[in-house]
Amino acid sequence: MPYTKIMIHFIWATKNRSPIITAELKPLLLAHIKENSLKKEIYIDCLNCVEDHIHLLISLGREQTVAKTAMLIKGESSFWVNKQKIIDQKFEWQDEYIGLSVSESAIGNVRRYIANQEEHHRKKTFMQEYNEFLKAHGFSQENFG
């Protein structure tokens, strides 16, 4: 049996970065994503969100890809929110996302970063954070129009 451990830090926003993840929606959304991911054999180490975006730390299975995993979580969770009618408007995630590999030695730091999203975003907007991630990991802003 092959042994793999590929940890990915995912970040994506709501469509147009709309602040639609309400205090009522947040715990329901996070619980649903965790529960549904288990059914799809997607292992979520930790996750958290604020009103306009989400962070997830995921261990990819040996046959899972970054793109397929993001698509499954994003598509199913937005479908679920809309079906439940928890908020008054259509819920959508933006198409783009960031998926970054995480080394074993950095897992604790990423977990803490994800857990402290509310505090972190009192000082910094999502776009500031997003652009810092792109720059820190060598992505060209031209690729993310």
pTM score of the predicted model? 0.88
Measure the CA–CA gap between 55 and 42, rounded to whole angstroms: 15
CA-wise closest residue to 98 among 136, 50, 59, 43? 136
* Gap between the Cα atoms of 106 and 129, Å rounded: 18
Helices (H), ranges, the chain: 25-39, 66-84, 107-115, 117-120, 126-136
Task: Give all strands of the β-sheet with 43-50 in edge-to-edge order.
Answer: 43-50, 53-60, 6-13, 98-102
Q: Which sequence spans correspond to the domains of the chain?
A: 6-144
For the domain spanning 6-144, the CATH number is: 3.30.70.1290
Residues 6 or more apart whose Cβ sits within 8 Å of residue 81: 25, 29, 87, 91
Which DSSP category does 74 fall into? H
Q: Which residues of 64-92 are buried (b: 16+ CB within 10 A; e: fewer)?
A: bebeebbeebbebbbebbeeeeeeeeebe
Task: Please report, in tens digits, the pLDDT of each residue of the chain (145 residues total).
Answer: 678 889 999 999 999 999 999 999 999 999 999 999 999 999 999 999 999 999 999 999 888 999 999 999 999 999 999 999 999 999 999 999 999 999 999 999 999 999 998 887 788 887 888 788 788 878 865 544 4
Cα 88 from chain centroid (whole Å)? 22
